[in-house]
Amino acid sequence: MSINDVFGASIIIPHVLRDLLTPDSQRVIRYMDCVVQAFCVHLHASASHTVLMIMAFDRYVAICNPLRYSTIMTHRMVLGLSVWAWAIPFLMVGILIGLSVRLSRCRWIIVHFSCDNASLFKLSCESVLINNIYGLGYTVVLLGSSIGSVTLTYLRIAMVCLRSKNKTLNSKALQTCVTHLAVYAILLVSGFIIVILHRFQAGCPQEGGVRHGQRCAARPERSNLRPADQRGPAEGYGSVS
């Protein structure tokens, strides 16, 4: 989890904070830089879910099978789980972003505080049915497995604690699980907020190009993506390379 936190804090957060402090007319980003940022954002979020799933399993073994912990959670098991926690999100996010990159672009405004997959495919006027189907499946698989595994493990932990008469054991279990549940709850809430923000932005008309996008910018604009040949000398837009 610490590696994922360092990844998010060093690659994603500084760019978002920089752009939040930049005037609207100067918020410009190259398209490929936006793609890389979207990939990193989704990889960070997806890996957070998979890592927290492994942490829930680790707590389940530590509390429900303490005498077998060293036998179950061997170095090989930990290494295998860690590789799985990064490899699966890497593959799923790569396909997710790849489906958006293949689309042609007819818009150049991103009405969001950071680049993500929804922001990328909203730049296209082509059909995004495949993107929506895969995105829905991706979300269902990730959140379904995450919520299901965490709920199941903590229900088992709760059953063990309720049957146990050892107050010291129950206290240690509570201290161990509270922080994990708090982080998981924050992750879920922040994810749902981003989805809701995109749903509200979906009602914003963008068919007219940049001007419609600017009217819709009651919320802060993340980036102004506009080709150099459509940009006047007095405008503060950057080019897409």
pLDDT surpassing 60 at residue 189? yes
Task: Report the topology of domain 2-19+27-224.
Answer: Rhopdopsin 7-helix transmembrane proteins (1.20.1070)
Cβ neighbours of 134 (radius 10 Å): 17
pTM higher than 0.85, yes or no? Answer: no
pLDDT surpassing 50 at residue 140? yes
pLDDT surpassing 80 at residue 241? no
**142-158 pLDDT per residue, tens:** 989 999 998 898 888 88
pLDDT surpassing 80 at residue 198? no
**Residues constituting the chain:** 241
Count of H-run helices and E-run strands, the chain: 9, 2
- H helices within 21-126, ranges in order? 31-64, 69-72, 75-101, 117-121
Under a CB-based contact definition with an 8 Å cutoff, are residues 187 and 48 in contact? yes
